[in-house]
Chain A
Amino acid sequence: MLGFLKRNRQAAPLSRKRQKHHTAQADRGILVFENTSEVIQAETVLKKAGWSVRVMGPPAEIQSGCDLVIEFPLIEELNIVRELHIAEVPPLNIVPVTAPLLMPVDLFHTKDYGAYLMVRAANMKITIAKETLTIVNISGGGCPDVPYLAQQMVGKTLAEAPRPRDLGHTLCGYALELAYEELQRQC
């Protein structure tokens, strides 16, 4: 996960990078959305624009079961919210961070089966045939987009398959995206 964030940071414009560094110690807030799909969309919009944001777990008082929030520098609230309105993914609520947020899993496990390679992130696993880079299985997870993602991705190559972040709607879908990115990095 940290590597994933780092890669996105490196893609940011320099001016924004300086701004991010400047605001690294500033107060942070969280953007709350209707559902995980909107979080994933908003994260994409904000990272493309170079903002220093992180996907995190919500504080206990607003957890409902399958949640992500976006942590952002509170001082940039107006700019970030404007950007999200333009992209038509406005947050439901904006809350200052008053307690430590939950960190997403950042451990990857790789299993080499010889002709096949499996990568696991959190509770999600994706397996490819090494020779063809075809996705042969997706396992783990418990949210209802997992069988859907498997249906859409299994049998396709890494290059052909839709990305979990484009089709997924839940934390399991997000974890599969991380496993997918790690697999791409290794291949």
Chain B
Amino acid sequence: MLGIIGTVPDQSFPLTHGPVHWDGDHLQIDGRRIAINRGTPALIGAALKAAEQLDAPEIHAFLVGDIGKGEGSRSLYRFLENELDQWDFQVLTFHYLQPDVDWHNRVMFAIDRLPQRPLLIADAGFMYAAKMSGQAPAYDFFTPDAGELAFLADETAPHPFYTRGFILHEENKVPELIQRAYQHGNAARHLLVKGATDYIVAANQIAATVDHPGFEAMEAIGGTGDTLTGLLTVLCGAGHTPTEAAELAARANRCSGLLADPNPATQIAELIAHIPQALSTVLDEFAGRS
């Protein structure tokens, strides 16, 4: 089972969990419909589309409404602390959650109690909390963009908002920032750094880079990082090695952009629709290469 944990931008959305399916162009979970415009629903939409192409385990989502006040996130953290051991996960992906170190640590204790440790992916707010907790090396993947990598590289910053200027100025020097993040113990075992060039890092070594096809507009489109993390989740769950999964995810995400022919006003749902074809193309190339 693949577990995806995050929030939806609707304060009235109750804590809900279960298998996720398509209902037209919306997601459906436990009888509730969710638009895939952005955030964790976009991640799940990408994961479901990827799962159509792969022999991947079922996707089980844990969602709650939160518009930034943190109450929803805290109720979800509490639920995970008490209930996580009911399921057997191969991959657990944490996404848009209010960063809170105390609650992060309680969830990590719950993960430690699982009979089998899943592959752990942290993105967005939960990645911020994971870094700040000092437990980054316990994760298998962080998926920062270049700005978030600078935050990981700044050992004093508790949030990207406080990344020091001299490190932000190094933003184009991704390999140096990667080194610095590992040097201070603020990187997961693997990194998938999103940007004009995507960097796949394993244990402080750059294992691969992906820069083709390239679209400047992708940076402006909200959700392209979310879809990448969704692809990574499913590819890890389908049995690819972490570096292989990251490279395939980066290529497929870019390929979905190629098929959508995006501009800065393109919405993420347009790219998600192309994921099956994009992934199929990338997997064919991969099969031909191996």
A contact set with B: CB distance below 8 Å: 35-37, 57, 60, 63-67, 102-107, 111, 113, 115-116, 118, 120, 122-123, 125, 127, 129, 136-151, 154, 167-175
Would you list which residues of chain B between 204 and 261 have a CB under 8 Å from chain A?
Answer: 216-217, 219-225
Contact, CB under 8 Å: B224 / A172: no
Given contacts A137-B264, A174-B161, contact A147 B219 (CB under 8 A): no
Contact residues in A for B217 (Cβ distance below 8 Å): 113
- Is B128 at the interface (CB under 8 A from chain A)? yes
- Extra A-B contacts (4), CB below 8 Å, given A105-B161, A146-B96: A104-B161, A118-B219, A122-B147, A144-B98
| A138 to B266 CA separation, bound complex (whole angstroms) | 11
**Closest CB-CB distance, B159 to chain A, in whole Å?**
5
Chain B, residue nearest A123 (CB): B160
- Is B158 at the interface (CB under 8 A from chain A)? yes
Interface segment among B23-31, B46-54, B65-73, B177-185: the answer is: B65-73
Contact, CB under 8 Å: B100 / A64: yes
- Is B263 at the interface (CB under 8 A from chain A)? yes
Given contacts A127-B264, A151-B9, contact A144 B97 (CB under 8 A): yes
When each residue 65-97 of chain B gets 1 if its CB lies under 8 Å from chain A and 0 otherwise, what string results? Answer: 011111011000000000000000000000011
Residue in A64, A104, A169 whose Cβ sees the most chain B Cβ within 10 Å: A64
Contact residues in B for A122 (Cβ distance below 8 Å): 147, 160-161, 163
Contact, CB under 8 Å: A65 / B163: no
Given contacts A63-B158, A118-B219, A123-B151, contact A168 B101 (CB under 8 A): no
Contact, CB under 8 Å: B160 / A144: no
| A104 to B73 CA separation, bound complex (whole angstroms) | 24
Chain A, residue nearest B158 (CB): A63
| A113 to B160 CA separation, bound complex (whole angstroms) | 25
Which among B40, B125, B148, B220 is the interface contact of A143 at CB below 8 angstroms? B125
Contact, CB under 8 Å: A143 / B162: no
B contact set with A: CB distance below 8 Å: 7-9, 37-40, 66-70, 72-73, 96-102, 104, 123-129, 132, 145, 147-148, 151, 156-165, 168-169, 216-217, 219-225, 263-267
Which among B9, B156, B169, B264 is the interface contact of A148 at CB below 8 angstroms? B9
Contact, CB under 8 Å: B124 / A65: no
| A169 to B151 CA separation, bound complex (whole angstroms) | 20
Contact, CB under 8 Å: B264 / A113: yes
Contact, CB under 8 Å: B69 / A150: no
**Closest CB-CB distance, A146 to chain B, in whole Å?**
7
**Closest CB-CB distance, B112 to chain A, in whole Å?**
20
| A120 to B165 CA separation, bound complex (whole angstroms) | 14
**Closest CB-CB distance, A59 to chain B, in whole Å?**
10
Contact residues in A for B40 (Cβ distance below 8 Å): 147
Contact, CB under 8 Å: A65 / B101: yes
Contact residues in B for A167 (Cβ distance below 8 Å): 67
**Closest CB-CB distance, B131 to chain A, in whole Å?**
10
Chain A, residue nearest B96 (CB): A144
Contact residues in A for B125 (Cβ distance below 8 Å): 66, 142-144, 172
Contact residues in B for A137 (Cβ distance below 8 Å): 220-222, 264-267
